[in-house]
Amino acid sequence: MARLDGKVAIVTGGVKGIGLATAKAFVKEGAKVVITDIDDQGSAEALQEIGDNAIFVKQDVSQEDQWEPVFQAAEKAFGPVNVLMNNAGILSFNNAEEITDDVWHKVLAVDLDGVMYGVKHAIVHMKAQGGSIINLSSIAGLIGISNLFAYNAAKGGVRMLNKSAALYCAEKNYPIRVNSIHPGYVHTPMVDAYPEKRKELEALHPVGRLGEASEIANMALYLASDESSFSTGAEFVVDGGYTAQ
């Protein structure tokens, strides 16, 4: 199949985890992809795993001045960008009583500001020819989790930012769709960095396991493709039943 033939995509946080799985799925379905990450360690291996039609650009998504060069690199290498997957994120376990300024601002800078900058710049680059903006939120953007205070705030912000941007594009008659994905806990380096929490996290999901990065990538693939042409401002939950409880 070639569900993304002719499309050019940017995937932030694309060197590992959900970003890497998404980049692989996009290229397999015919897209040309730019993966970005703040750390270029592992970028060569990621590109080798993705295959042809992919390049890497180093980027800190929390810094607005690093966004325009990413779009320029994509356009120079492949042409106009049709898809942005705002995937880059960090996870920190903290609570409302003991949160520190440094942790709060660090989490929100990457997980919320980074998405905002991506949406802002993608609209500028996509409004003429159209496209799909995919924002990775979380179940933490839908429900409260007591030990994810800053992450809850960031991902809840992504959920509502997503809706506002979708309505804005529709009102402006820009042919841009903006949707969010809300995964449960997924096997990624970010989650697997806490092996002591593995059994506890698995038990939270009625299906009895964590998700796989490829399962989230499949949802991103749908949203990147023209199959989702009537979806905008929507929330797509991929959580093993977590939020059904």
Name the catalytic one among 151, 168, 174, 194: 151
Distance CA 159, CA 136 (A): 9
Q: Which of 3, 14, 23, 7 is nearest to 217 (CA)?
A: 23
For residue 168, indicate whether it is catalytic. no
What SS3 state is found at 7?
Answer: coil
H helices present in the chain, as ranges? 17-28, 43-50, 68-77, 101-108, 114-126, 149-171, 189-192, 198-203, 213-224
Tokens representing 55?
């390049």
Tokens representing 121?
């710049």
**If 0-12 CB within 10 Å is exposed, 13-18 middle and 19+ buried, where does residue 216 land?**
buried
Distance CA 123, CA 235 (A): 19
Q: Which sequence positions are flagged as catalytic?
A: 151
